[in-house]
C-alpha cells in the first residue's frame, strides 16, 4: 500500500487531545492514531448504512442458568446464515465465555447480538464489528 504524506493544522487544544489519545492508547505516533480514527469512522459509517460487516459477539454467562443454553442455541439457529463459528470456553465452574464469529448486514448482526445479550443469565455481552474489505 502506497503511503502519502500531507500536513494537518489543528488548534492547540485539539493537538493536545490528540497527543493524549496517542499516549493513552499507546500508538507509536500521531499518524497511526489518525489512521486508526479515520478507519474507525469509516467502519461506523458502514454500520449506519447497513452494509455487509463481519464481527464477533462475545458473551459471558452462568452456564447453570436454567434453559439459557437452549435459548441461545435457538436464537443462533434463527440467524444461522450469519454465524460463521462459535467458540465456547469454560472460565470457571460457573461461568462460560462464548465468542460467536458473525458476518452479515450490520442491522441484523446488531439485532442478533441484542437478543443474545438480553437473555436472562448473560452477565456481559458485546458486539464488535468491522468491515469485510
Q: What is the tens place of the pLDDT at every residue in 32-80?
A: 999 999 988 887 887 778 888 999 999 999 989 889 999 999 999 999 9
User: What CATH number has the domain bearing residue 123?
Assistant: 3.30.70.1150
Check whether residue 68 and residue 122 sit in a common domain.
yes
Say what the pLDDT of residue 58 is.
Answer: 98
Residue 66: domain span? 52-131
Q: Would 41 be classed as within a structural domain?
A: yes
- Tell me what the pLDDT averaged over the chain comes to: 92
Helices (H) and strands (E) in the chain, counts: 4, 4
Higher-confidence residue: 130 or 103? 103
Check whether residue 40 and residue 77 sit in a common domain.
no
Average pLDDT over residues 80-94: 96
Say what the pLDDT of residue 16 is.
Answer: 94
Q: How many domains does the chain have?
A: 2
Q: Would 61 be classed as within a structural domain?
A: yes
Average pLDDT over residues 18-40: 92
The mean-pLDDT minimum among 42-51, 60-69, 81-90, 113-122 falls in 42-51
Strand 83-90 relative to strand 95-105: parallel, antiparallel, unpaired?
A: antiparallel
Q: What sign results for the dihedral spanned by CA atoms 130, 42, 126, 78? A: negative
Amino acid at each position: 500500500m502506497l503511503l502519502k504524506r500531507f500536513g494537518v493544522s489543528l488548534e492547540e487544544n485539539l493537538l493536545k487531545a490528540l497527543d493524549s489519545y496517542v499516549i493513552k492508547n499507546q500508538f507509536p505516533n500521531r499518524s497511526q492514531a489518525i489512521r486508526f480514527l479515520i478507519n474507525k469512522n469509516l467502519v461506523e459509517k458502514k454500520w449506519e448504512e447497513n452494509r455487509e460487516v463481519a464481527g464477533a459477539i462475545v458473551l459471558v454467562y452462568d452456564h447453570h442458568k436454567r434453559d439459557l443454553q437452549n435459548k441461545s442455541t435457538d436464537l443462533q439457529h434463527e440467524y444461522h446464515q450469519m454465524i460463521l463459528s462459535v467458540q465456547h470456553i469454560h472460565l470457571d465452574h460457573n461461568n462460560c465465555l462464548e465468542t460467536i464469529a458473525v458476518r452479515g448486514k450490520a442491522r441484523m448482526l446488531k439485532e442478533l447480538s441484542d437478543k443474545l445479550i438480553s437473555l436472562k443469565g448473560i452477565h456481559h455481552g458485546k458486539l464488535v464489528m468491522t468491515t469485510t474489505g
